[in-house]
Amino acid sequence: MSEKAPLRIQVKRFLDNQKLDDRQFASLSHKLRQAQSLPAGSQRSLDNRPPYVWAAAASLLVLLSVVFIIHFLVQSDGKADIPHRIAEEVATNHIKIQQLNLEASTLDEIRTSLDRLDFIPAESQLIDHQTYRLKGARYCTMQGMIAAHIIYDSPGGTPMSHYQAAYDPARFGQLPDLSVNDTPRTISIRGVQVQLWVEQGLVMARAHTISDNSTLL
């Protein structure tokens, strides 16, 4: 089922329909200058100013309000779109798995060897180590931050990727937190199922090929 266009695209379309063309803007500016040039001692009171003055002022106020609302919505949509950007990055790394920096069979080996990380890789309660066999790890990035890409072999023989990075809410946005019993966010993209969550102060992601018949536990 096709998804609706992202909010920022809908907003752009709306703004394109609302904005003034050059002729309308020039006419509005001219009328406003006329209104501002009325002499201070004019016999006309505010109530007696021509109707077009009030119409021009109202039009400008509406236009400014629309611009403000558009700016607010676009900013909000940018934050809401962070999980999809993370999922896109994770899926790309999963599809194009590169050479491992380290072959390992335990997480302790990864903790010791990947010494450029600015965090300590953690055991996740969502990874069943009885089902998945640890193969190794490599350095990667998530949203510009250094991360660990830990790779497991699934029962079906296809790789399952587990990503970890230090959690910065300003960079990663608000994600489901296992410490408050949240359920991981699931996003399917380009044939890859990605799950996102926060655990032990780390942002984590798990990716596997959707066609893989093995069950994620």
Q: How confident is the model at residue 8 (pLDDT cuts 50, 70, 90)?
A: low
d(CA 55, CA 49): 11
Whether residue 81 is predicted with pLDDT greater than 70 in this model: the reply is yes
Whether residue 174 is predicted with pLDDT greater than 90 in this model: the reply is yes
Cα separation of the two ends of the chain: 26
What does the DSSP 8-state code read for residue 2? P
Could you please state the CATH topology (level 3) that the domain comprising 100-209 is classified under. Phosphorylase Kinase; domain 1 (3.30.200)
- The token pair that represents 187 in the structure block: 């996003």
Higher pLDDT, 146 or 157: 146
SS3 assignment, position 208: strand
Give Cα 145 distance to the centre of its chain: 15
Whether residue 74 is predicted with pLDDT greater than 80 in this model: the reply is no
What does the DSSP 8-state code read for residue 115? T
Q: How confident is the model at residue 142 (pLDDT cuts 50, 70, 90)?
A: very high
> How many other CB atoms are there within 10 angstroms of residue 157's CB atom?
8
Mean pLDDT for 62-87 is: 63
The pTM assigned to this predicted structure is: 0.63
Radius of gyration of the chain (CA): 27
* Mean per-residue pLDDT of the chain: 79
Q: What are phi and psi of 44, to 5 degrees?
A: -75, 135
d(CA 1, CA 35): 54
